[in-house]
Amino acid sequence: MIFCPAGHKLDEILSILDTGFNLYTFKKVLEDLARDYHLDYLLIDSHPGIEKDTLLSMALCDYLVLISRVDQQDLFGSGVMTEVASQLQKPVVLILNMVPSSVSEKEAGKIADRLAELFHLHVLTALPFNSDVLENLSKGVFVLERPKDPLTRRFTEIAMKMLEAIETGPADDHSASRPTSQPLA
C-alpha cells in the first residue's frame, strides 16, 4: 500500500488552485505512478461534489466507488454523482458509511435495497459509525495501526468485494445489493 498526497507544499497547492487541473498531465502522472510502482490498482480519493478535479478523476477512472453517509445531503450528492458517472459510462458501486448505531442491520439492508433500485447500482456494504476511526483521523492509517481490529477485517472484506466487482463488471441484478455486514448495533 502506497499513499501519495496530491501535494504538501502550500505553493504547489495554490498553483493548482490558480491554474486548475490539466487532464493530460493528470493522466500522465497516474500512468507514471502505476508503472513506476507496478500497481495493479490505483485509488484516487477525491472530495465530494461536482468540481473540475472530481470530474477529471471520474473521466479517467475505470470504476467509481462512492462512499456516502445515510443522510439526505450525502445521498442526494451520491445520486448526482451516479448520474454523472452514467453519462460518462462508468460503472458505480456504493458503500454506506458511518451508519448510526440506531439503524439495525435489517434497516441498513432495506436502505441499501432502496438505493440500489433508485440509483441502479450495487451497494457493497454498510459500515457502522466507529468512534475509533474518528479518533484516529490524521494520526495514522487505521488498518495498519490496528490490523486485528474487527473493522480492519471489514475493510479487507470490502477491498475483496471491490476487486470482485471490478473484475466481473457491474451487476445487472441489483437485488443482490443487500450489504453483507455484521450487525450495526
Domain extents in the chain = 1-42, 59-177
Closest CA to 90 of 69, 113, 66, 68: 66
The whole-number pLDDT of residue 56 equals: 83
Terminal Cα-to-Cα distance of the chain (whole angstroms) = 31
Torsion, Cα of 131, 100, 149, 47 (10° steps): -70
pTM of the model: 0.78
pLDDT in tens, 26-77: 888 889 989 999 988 888 887 777 877 788 888 888 889 999 998 889 989 9
59-177: what CATH class?
A: alpha beta
pLDDT in tens, 108-145: 989 999 999 999 998 988 998 988 888 887 788 888 88
